[in-house]
Structure 1
Amino acid sequence: MSTPAPATSPSWVDRLIPFNVTAWVRRLGLASVLVNLLLVITGGLVRLTGSGLGCPTWPRCTDETWTNVPAMGIHGFIEFGNRTLTGAVGIVALATFIAVWRLRGRYTDLFYISLALGVGVIVQAIVGGFSVLVRLNPWMVGVHFMLSGIMIAMASIFYARARRYSLRSVIESERLSDTPGPDNVQRALGFVIAVLSTVVVYMGTLVTGTGPHSGDASSARHAFNPETVTRFHSVPVWALMILLVVTFILAKKRLWAPAVSKNIVAIFVVMLFQGAIGYTQYFTGSPSSLVWLHLVGAGLLIATVTFLFERMVVLGTPALRQLAESRVDIAEANGIV
């Protein structure tokens, strides 16, 4: 009686460019989320330290050099450091694209999201450059931040789907093997929450563009009344809070997957954090430390809302649910779940 041959471990090429959704793909998805969040955080640091024009031109740092020079001081160092981080985002995007190359036939969603992330890095760099060339015009800076939000959202969708396709705990938490009919309420609420959250974030850029932290003393600001625009910003915030409570109640009443309720709780925690920071910031004259924390919260809000939106739309749409389940079956057949 012969003994079975021991399983051979995959080569380093197969580890970096796997045939299945592996832990490596999941890690790259998480890295994409984190590095895009980090870019938002360092971008806020640039603005709050008045370093927005630390490199006064683009794509060079100065007319003579590609990098900052000692004479430019700390502002040049901070701004050039933020530009350098864009390279790290690009490296992660490239590694993610390469990692899913062999998956492009079966996991087309992961492939095209990774491609979009790579294109997004280039677009972000160009928009960031124009922001410098127009001397941090608040409208352009707002567009730059919203593009960062889109990058965080795409990375979050990639990470969520990589986990769904390869982790049994996620499959069970989503009850993916159940076969319910179309749930228009769940799907519609997912879209409404996403749209309302986008309004919240965009209104936040208007408040920021009206406030004192422009990134450079010579930069223009929005001409809005600060108190008025802040109050307008609070309207969709409160509407989103109420909608989340209603959605949580419906999730329990209609027996939606436990993962949905957990996502809602996560968003609610982020929004409570954001609300506490926002109101404190408003009544204390917008100190830079609180503005920075509020910016961190905005990035977390985008990520957590995206996780909920993606999950509610997939689980509420039979065709998407079946497609996701079929991809999990492929993963299980290859022994990676």
Structure 2
Amino acid sequence: MTTTSAIRRGSFLDRFIPLNVNGWVRTLGIASILVNFLLVLTGGLVRLTGSGLGCPTWPRCTSDTWTNVPAMGIHGFIEFGNRTLTGAVGIIALLTFISVWRLRGRYTDLFGIAFVLGLGVIVQAVVGGLSVWLRLNPWMVGVHFMLSGFMVALAAIFYARVRRYSMRKVIESERLSDRPEADNVQRFLGIVIAAVTIVAVYMGTLVTGTGPHSGDTDSARHAFDPQVVTRLHSIPVWVLLVLVMATLVLAKRKNWAPAVSRNAWIIVLVMLFQGAIGYTQYFTGSPGFLVWFHLIGAGLLIWSVTALLERMVVLGTPALRDLAESRVEIAEANGIV
């Protein structure tokens, strides 16, 4: 191997399989969020257009072909397109895993998250297949959506970590160099907000499973009273809003890092958007385009709440703050930030 070849090989490795968190790893972090978010939206499109069984079997599209055929019409095209996007999610997950391979010794959290993201793609594909085999049973479709939300959340944690480990403005907004005592209130509040969000999102899947958009005209629906289950869904949503507002008050009184307040305000804006869409749906019979916008809001809520949770837990736990700062020091020593 010539000297030039060795330099090029080293340059390639340092950029795409780096020894420190760099721009490539950050790019894959945001890409992971976006492709999983997009999968949520295309899944919603499948359901709203009645294309859930556009490919009536799994893993093949039909018993004879792996892809849709023209005779299947638009429904086959939409469902197969959604399945194809899973491949893109898998590619991003693989690239993410490769990008942190040489970081696995020092950045065990990033390596672990990347590994679970890869496994999640496989689990999601299998659950999607089960949904088809069960003819879009609403319970299974709900599980499918919750797994998608989990993937968005996991990718959001990964992205938050890689930004913290490599960007000066994030370090400053989180005031990592401060040495406060353990803040159990901050940590506990973040966990409670996340738990209430999970309940709210899951209740949303029950509302959807009771509503008119099943994905196929012959698919079963939940037997719940639509008005009752919708009102039950609104309870954790209102609780969540109160908790987020409490976070804003406490952040000011207890002088939490500015980044915490910023995250909380983002959640408030997302919830205002979601609330406007949700109540309009309720009073207009859930037209398809509003359901799709509500899905966008659900994805944004999961992303923003996860970002807040991750930040509050890290900043409220001295051991995690110290770990984060030590990794920042590594980045500074290598000229990354």
| Fold shared per TM-score above 0.5 | yes
Aligned to 1:268: 268
Deviations 1:217-250 (A, max 9, x none): 0000000000000000001111111111111100
Aligned to 2:166: 166
Q: Give me the whole-angstrom Cα distance separating, in 2, the residues matched to 1:162 and 1:245.
A: 28
Q: Give me the whole-angstrom Cα distance separating, in 2, the residues matched to 1:242 and 1:317.
A: 24
Q: Could you say what the CA RMSD is over the residues aligned between the two structures, in angstroms?
A: 1.1
Q: TM (normalized to structure 2)?
A: 0.97
Q: Give me the whole-angstrom Cα distance separating, in 1, the residues matched to 2:178 and 2:144.
A: 41
Q: CA deviation at 1:8?
A: 9.7
Amino acid at match of 1:211: G
Q: Give me the whole-angstrom Cα distance separating, in 2, the residues matched to 1:327 and 1:10.
A: 23
Q: CA deviation at 1:84?
A: 0.2
Q: Give me the whole-angstrom Cα distance separating, in 2, the residues matched to 1:296 and 1:309.
A: 20
Report matched runs for 1:1-337 at 5 Å.
Answer: 11-337=11-337
Q: Give me the whole-angstrom Cα distance separating, in 1, the residues matched to 2:239 and 2:161.
A: 29
Q: TM (normalized to structure 1)?
A: 0.97
Q: Give me the whole-angstrom Cα distance separating, in 2, the residues matched to 1:140 and 1:8.
A: 49
Q: Give me the whole-angstrom Cα distance separating, in 1, the residues matched to 2:242 and 2:125.
A: 37
Amino acid at match of 1:118: G
Deviations 1:81-115 (A, max 9, x none): 00000000000000000000000000000001000
Aligned to 2:4: none
Deviations 1:235-275 (A, max 9, x none): 11111111111111000010000000000000010000000
Q: Give me the whole-angstrom Cα distance separating, in 1, the residues matched to 2:286 and 2:22.
A: 44
Q: CA deviation at 1:11?
A: 1.4
Structure 2: any 5+ residue segments left out of the alignment? 1-6
Q: CA deviation at 1:13?
A: 2.5
Aligned to 2:3: none
Q: CA deviation at 1:12?
A: 1.9
Deviations 1:62-94 (A, max 9, x none): 000000000000000000000000000000000
Q: Give me the whole-angstrom Cα distance separating, in 2, the residues matched to 1:151 and 1:246.
A: 27
Aligned to 1:3: none
The count of corresponding residues between Structure 1 and Structure 2 is 331
Q: CA deviation at 1:10?
A: 5.8
Moved over 6 A (4+): none
Structure 1: any 5+ residue segments left out of the alignment? 1-6
Q: Give me the whole-angstrom Cα distance separating, in 1, the residues matched to 2:164 and 2:187.
A: 18
Q: CA deviation at 1:301?
A: 0.4
Deviations 1:102-149 (A, max 9, x none): 000000000010000000000000000000000000000000000001
Q: Give me the whole-angstrom Cα distance separating, in 1, the residues matched to 2:283 and 2:10.
A: 58
